[in-house]
Amino acid sequence: MIFLPMNIAFFSIFLLLLAAALAFLFNRNQKFLIGVCFSMTTIASLLMVAAGGWAVGKGITNQVILPMGLPDLLFHLRLDPLSGFFLTVIGLLSFFVSIYSLGYVKGFLGHRSVTSLIIFYCLFLAGMFMVVLADDALFFLISWEVMAAASYFLVMFEDEKIENRRAAFLYIIVAHVGAIAILLSFGVMAGLATGFQGFSGYTFDAMRATNFPLGWATAAFLLAFFGFAAKAGVIPLHVWLPEAHPVAPSNVSALMSGVMLKTAIYGIVRVTFDLIGVFPWWWGAIVLIFGLVSAVMGVLYALMQHDLKRLLAYHSVENIGIILIGIGLAMIFTSYQMPLLAALALTAGLFHTMNHAMFKGLLFMGAGAVLHATRERNMEEMGGLIHKMPWTAAFFLIGCISISALPPFNGFVSEWLTFQAFLLSPSLPSPLLNLLIPMGAALLALTGALAAACFVKAFGVTFLGHWRGPHKPDVHEAGWTMRIGMMLSALTCLALGVLPTVFIDWMDVLSEQLVGAKIATSATGIGWMWLTPIAHERAAYSGPIVFAGIMAIVVIAYILLHARPAAIKRVPIWDCGFEKITQRMQYNATSFSMPIRRIFGFLFSIKEQVRLVSQYGHRAFPKKLHYHLRIRDLFWGWLYKPVVDASFWISRKVGRLQQGKIHVYLIYSFVTIIVLLVFLR
């Protein structure tokens, strides 16, 4: 049996490595390289989608052992529905992004060599795929770090900019610390699996087979959660994310934000549901709480940004939070043996994983197109791009609607499912949870609404109105490959939103394997058009009808109103009859978010100062008004600065040891020997 999902996956990874090798060998002809290598990655990603989709759809599980690694601990690979699902997610987005890159990367030609970009791009993809395929601790960590290192170099791509270096450094530090934590958690589990004798315990199978004592299991879980949270950008471990994602090339930020974070989600699901399996409810509570905090804080910080890509990066924090909410709920339900509800929550979480990959990738690609056209990341300068780049604007708008969880697009469906999961929490036997979990639902609602506000701002300020900056660049629409990339993901967003039932039907095997219940049977209870998570009396949503209905009415209304020739007079802006309106008078990003800044001000560290140059020596007649606003992440001051300062303090103290005089060194050895003789003999 040669033709297995696993073999397809192998071939795809092989293609990626081959592409990297090609880029390494023929780095003379850059144009050619871009064409060939990115086409290869496109094919490879598509193959991965095929492999993953197949494995999930048919519920296949392949296991392979490669003759590599330590002889006692060879590389174990396993392609089961869970990994298949994530393969599909990653593959799908990387497919779109690879097409997009065909055009986008050409933008660097002339400025710099793109060889390293291509090489690390391929390695990055390969790393992500391998992470999902890994079935033993060692190989998992190796792929994990390959992924991290590759993305580190990608962030570093434009390394002459200081901000890139700073961001890359921060990123690699956090990533590595997280990796160490994950390593430890695996160490704990492997140890318990075999009593620390020999290497057999490091395979995931061995971990699955063991049932862990609660204390150790908790240690393992907390370590793993810390590690994966660091990668996923869960608050308060998120600070690297808004630094690293904006400065990377946009196709890379699309991948990092869209799918790299998802590998962390994969890790959490894998460790909790698959490897450990049995856990108390408060694990879920922990995940839920961190999810909620990340969701709300993430969107609030996003609202304060005026750098387009930074804004999107903070939204990744938010969406990761939403995903974690679903997973946390699933864990709680599981711990109370409510498989059906757990399945619902888990499906919601994983569905949102898929959706976020799609629309966040789309948005970053759009931002990339804007950046590509305007050489500008600061929204305060932008405006009116919709006229120059209509396609990009349309796709970006679709992304905005989807991420704001508005029907009929995909973001809404997954959040709606999450709400349903929340609404089912009263059936939990614990009164405390009954009282507290609804609060979570409210917070989620707040998040959704704020996200909508944020993307009205993002789209409105970027694409609508007039150009705000002093000198307007000659903007041009993105190239056709870039447009195709965006269009495909936009269509995916729509499809997932309109036909969720099909998708849920496909991925149902996951929840069956992980929590032991399917929801598809009930989810499509009254036909494929209606999504009815538990029962149609309970709640129902029909994507097709909403979409078709609205469109139909719009069309009818349009036709009716244009029955008689309807003239449209184009005139200057009215604006209540105000004459001297300039583009500087428009609302910009900062002013748009001002009310929310006022209301939630206590959550940021805001420095706001107004300098007023008055006329006729009286404040009442201002000539000039300078407004300066600086908003920083609270967690810098709370978490990171103290750590850094402390370590430097210690190192200064430690430096005293090495203070030059040989006598002192002799005294060290003298004292050492004496002390040892006295105490440790």
Partner 1 sequence: MILYPFIIEVFQILLVLAVAPAFAGWVKALKCWSQGRTSPGLFQPYRDIIKLFSKDVVLAENASWIFRFTPYLVFGVSVLAGGIVPMLSVDLPLAATADVIALVALFAIARFFTALAGMDIGTAFGGMGSSREMTIASLAEPAMLMAIFTVSLASKSTSLSQMVQVIYSGQSVLRPSVAFALLAFILIALAETGRIPVDNPATHLELTMIHEAMILEYSGRHLALIEWAGMMKLFLFVMLGIAVFAPWGIAASGDLTAIPAAVLFMILKLAIVGAGLVLIETGLAKMRLFRLTEFLGSAFLLATLGMLSYFILE
Partner 2 sequence: MNTSLAANINSFLAAMVLLTAFGMLVQRRMYGLIHLFAWQGFFLSISTAIVGFVAGAHHLYISSILTLSLKVILLPYILHILIQRLKIHKEVETIVNVPMTMMIGIALVIFSYHLTAPVRELSTLMTRSTLAVALATVLLGLLMMITRRHAVTQIIGFLAMENGLFFAATSATYGMPLVVELGVALDILIAAFIFGIFFFHIHTTFDSLDVDQMARLKEED
Partner 3 sequence: MPLLILLSVPLFASLVLAFIGDRKYAPEINIFGSAATFAAGVSLALDVYANGPMLAGGKFFFVDAFNVYLAVLTSFVSMTTAIFSRRYMRKEREHGRVGPIRMRFYHAMFQLFIFAMLLCLLTNNVGVLWIAMELATLSTVLLVSLYRTPSAIEAAWKYFILCGVGIALALFGTVLLYFAAEKVLGEGGEALLWTNLSQVSGKLEPTVLSLAFVFLMVGYGTKVGLVPVHNWLPDAHSEGPTPISAVLSGLLLNVALYALVRCKVLVDGSTGTHHAGDIMMGFGLLSIIVAAFSLLRQKDIKRMFAYSSIEHMGIATFAFGLGGPIATFGALLHMLVHSLTKSSIFFTVGHASQMHSTQEMDRIKGLIRGNPLVGWGLMFGVMAIVGMPPFGVFTSEFLILTATIKDAPFLTPFLLLGFGVAFAALFRRVQPMVTGPAPSYQRPIKAAHIPVIFHMALVLAIGIYMPDFLNQWFHRAVELLK
Positions touching partner 3 (CB under 8 A) are 68-72, 138, 141-146, 148-149, 156, 159-160, 165, 168-169, 172-173, 176-177, 180, 183-184, 186-188, 190-191, 196-199, 202, 647-648, 650-652, 654-655, 657-658, 662, 665-666, 668-669, 672-673, 676-677, 680-681
When the beta carbons of 70 and 664 are compared against partner 2, the nearer one is 664
Q: Does 453 bind partner 1 (CB under 8 A)?
A: yes
Reduced to 3 states, what is the DSSP secondary structure of residue 251?
helix
User: Least distance from C-beta 364 to partner 1, angstroms?
Assistant: 21
Reduced to 3 states, what is the DSSP secondary structure of residue 62?
strand
- The closest alpha carbon to 359, from 414, 305, 419, belongs to 414
When the beta carbons of 22 and 385 are compared against partner 1, the nearer one is 385
Q: Does 674 bind partner 1 (CB under 8 A)?
A: no
Find the binder of partner 2 among 666, 672, 675, 676 (CB under 8 A): 666
When the beta carbons of 166 and 607 are compared against partner 3, the nearer one is 166
Q: Does 675 bind partner 2 (CB under 8 A)?
A: no
Tokens of 299: 């969107």
Q: Does 603 bind partner 1 (CB under 8 A)?
A: no
d(CA 437, CA 423): 9
603-626 b/e with 16+ CB inside 10 Å = b?
A: ebeeeeeeeeeeeeeeeeeeeeee
Find the binder of partner 1 among 153, 226, 416, 604 (CB under 8 A): 416
When the beta carbons of 435 and 675 are compared against partner 2, the nearer one is 675
Residues 638-657 that bind partner 2 (CB under 8 A): 652, 655-657
Tokens of 512: 């069956």
When the beta carbons of 168 and 523 are compared against partner 3, the nearer one is 168
Q: Does 546 bind partner 1 (CB under 8 A)?
A: yes
User: Least distance from C-beta 667 to partner 2, angstroms?
Assistant: 6
When the beta carbons of 623 and 652 are compared against partner 2, the nearer one is 652
d(CA 53, CA 507): 9
Q: Which long-range contacts (CB under 8 A, 24 or more apart) does 495-498 make?
A: 495/410, 496/354, 496/355, 496/358, 496/409, 496/410, 496/413, 497/402, 497/407, 497/408, 497/409, 497/410, 497/411, 497/412, 497/413, 497/543, 497/547, 498/408, 498/543, 498/544, 498/547
Q: Does 570 bind partner 1 (CB under 8 A)?
A: yes
Q: Pick from partner 3, partner 2, partner 1, none: which does 16 bind, CB < 5 to 8 A by kind? A: none
> Of the listed pieces 399-407, 472-480, 515-523, 669-677, which binds partner 1 according to CB under 8 A?
399-407
Residues 344-363 that bind partner 1 (CB under 8 A): none
d(CA 293, CA 1): 48
- The closest alpha carbon to 363, from 417, 415, 409, 418, belongs to 409
When the beta carbons of 66 and 526 are compared against partner 1, the nearer one is 526
d(CA 323, CA 149): 25
Q: Does 456 bind partner 1 (CB under 8 A)?
A: yes
- The closest alpha carbon to 39, from 396, 387, 474, 481, belongs to 481
Find the binder of partner 1 among 374, 402, 501, 586 (CB under 8 A): 586
253-267 b/e with 16+ CB inside 10 Å = b?
A: bbbbbbbbbbbbbbb
Q: Does 680 bind partner 2 (CB under 8 A)?
A: no
d(CA 234, CA 217): 22
User: Least distance from C-beta 583 to partner 1, angstroms?
Assistant: 7
User: Least distance from C-beta 161 to partner 3, angstroms?
Assistant: 9
d(CA 45, CA 41): 6
When the beta carbons of 186 and 279 are compared against partner 3, the nearer one is 186
